[in-house]
Structure 1
């Protein structure tokens, strides 16, 4: 899928050029050597977003004007550049691509697994919303359009609500747009959750080697009728100065054997559930999009016992490319190309 990767002024790297085997590679080294940054760069190249930061500027090497990422993938040469003044620019086979949606539609898919995934179970509803949004944007290009428009409308509507005397005609116009895009997001998320639940339950049983039944329930914070909810919460919105109904308030409830996973599951069960959610994401991407994603596994094995490590590796699709970071490979039985971070030029 990804045969080469080239970086310039990205995070700790002045410059980096890698050849990547079709099956993938394991990047081995101590902390703060740039292992995670390599996986992050792949994610930005493929999906134009980072799992570590919402701001591209934070990935620019200090005292440089911007970063560049390029790679040979999906039989094309892809390039992504970011500079503070120009923003994000993209090329495919040296031809400029103006719209991010066009770049993404012709590209690939990604599943990211990291230590922070435990927040999928323990964290706030926002974390689980981002999980669904990352999946939704890859499965359905229209989802991404609705998500970005909803976010822009929500921001504008909240600014209007902060006025002492908000203009009712403008508020009504924003409410109509919020309902239009919000209904699409809520409907799509519900469908994704229904498809994810059996995949997550299967993955949980596989990785844990126990009969653990996973439950996923999507709860729309606005109920079944967003327009009606906006009318009911109008007085509260004006008092608080913000929109209190819509997909930004939705929740994804996770259970194991009928019990709330964040309250009653052990840490081992929670970690396995987080991994199972990501494995389910990969299965759904393959089935819905018809293509295998790249699996990016960032230093997740230190917190897993040997049986769960081996079960996770066995659960990953054999034909999928896997890029893995770890501090040592003593536990690994699989035949992966090992790349020592000390051999790479980093600052």
Structure 2
């Protein structure tokens, strides 16, 4: 569970509305269409945001066919959220929110609160946010099945003005999940090492019922030239399952005119494996206490690159209307997963926003 940027200051804005559609499609027969609408209104000195979206998922990947369903599945996943925040003249801000996510076999309630304060004549911004998540893990073929999952996350942020056109960002996150962390659909094959590695049985996935994570993010934002902006970011994550992940992001933004902006982004990600992850468990007739068929817990690397174009027909004059189109190519390489070596995805996004 990730903490949003709840510590960001509330932006002074009377009202706005927007909509977006994202489409994800990959070479492993997974397609997700995600329309989303949002709105913002300032009431007295309180800024209120609401948003709703749905993920229309169609999946028939080899991972699902081997581990869960012989025909894959199609489903809808709904999300709604509401946020409210206020900023004071001295530079301090407070924000809270609630989010509901519902799937045929999953229900999540998330509540968060965060705040920020400006120091050193507004040269430093410190923020703190806390999120709690109460979820129920179900099973699409068993309406009586329900297992609890709880989560807590803390995020501390620091933004420093290094110069007229440069910002430094530092963030630390800590999170803990407890309860049903395995997938009720995944079964792990047990092989016989004395019989040529023959498949002998399949048992339900079993992982520890608690997981603690830590993360650190370091970033730099700067204007290199009058119309060129750059963001560089490095992330590191680790957990008590033995998983370590590192990633780096570089984003360039170029303002062609007051109406047109082009963004280019590249992201690299690499991770090791959880301590109990194996591509094949050759332990027949015993099954290890912890076993998983989740490729996301194994060693992998990811490469992502994309372009985004935004058009403001009236420039920065009201009404502020912005329309955008973007596309990203993502490559996932699974370095020790017997069912799938990798997949390539295309992610497209179209959005429209309006501010009177």
Q: TM-score, normalised by structure 1?
A: 0.27
Q: Which has the higher helix share?
A: 1
Q: TM-score, normalised by structure 2?
A: 0.26
Q: Which has the higher strand share?
A: 2
